[in-house]
Structure 1
Amino acid sequence: MIKLRSKRFCRGNSKLGSGAGNGVKGQEKGEIKWELRPGGMLVQKRESAESVGEGMITVRVSIVSKWHEISIESTSTFGELKMILSLVTGLEPREQRLLFKGKEREDSEYLHMVGVRDKDKVLLLEDPAIKEMKLHALATPCRTISV
């Protein structure tokens, strides 16, 4: 959290305000709390209890025709989500591809930094290369070589 002091840019009376309240409701002595958004934009911090990047969220993960609801810290990474999903699905984390908003996400990316919020949907796909290797290994019988 970044704290900055606000500066008054206009003098005394403004045409839009009544002049009686000289400040925004809920702010004390001109102090404003700021936050840095994922895109790099500095904005005034919201005063809600459900702040972005804080607490537990529930992520709905779609696997072909199945849904799983996973509760996870919003500050977790996609790699940590993959580890939890490996317990539920049986797919190892390296076999998983997670897509959010149409993009495949890297293991090191944080959920809150890419905009994952409570009840958002994430698509889980099995890595096609590993799936093909598994199928190829099952189709090819083991051969023993005698020396």
Structure 2
Amino acid sequence: MKSAYLIILTPAEKGFVVHVPDLDLYTEGADHVDAIEMARDAIGLWGISEEDAGRTIPEGKIGSFECKEDQISTLVDIDFDAYRRANDMRTVRKNVTLPSWLNTLAEKEGVNFSQVLQEGLKRRLHVPEAR
């Protein structure tokens, strides 16, 4: 799922405080670029956490926001599926069942079962090779 969210950058003593009003998230960045990257990261992490908890991620409400004179408003786009692939690298244990003869043959050949399963799942689910 792709979305865009309004963010507000407020100058701080060092860098910027970032507010994502639609999600009531706060983060900070050392400069404009870092602040935007930190906002995207905070939104992505929040979004995949919501998905993991079974909750729906709300769409960003794109509209105007009354900024104070020193604030900057901009949009940050996020692809939650791509964010998950890039950042959620936890491993999980899966128990698989296969015929004994196939297991024996694979073990003799030194097959890495985890790698073969991952490659097969990526191919079956049409996951790009970069991940």
Pairwise same-fold verdict (TM > 0.5): no
In the superposition, the TM-score normalised over structure 2's length comes to 0.26
Greater share of strand residues, 1 or 2? 1
Higher relative contact order (CA 8 A, sep 6+): 2
Greater share of helix residues, 1 or 2? 2
Larger Rg: 1 or 2? Answer: 1
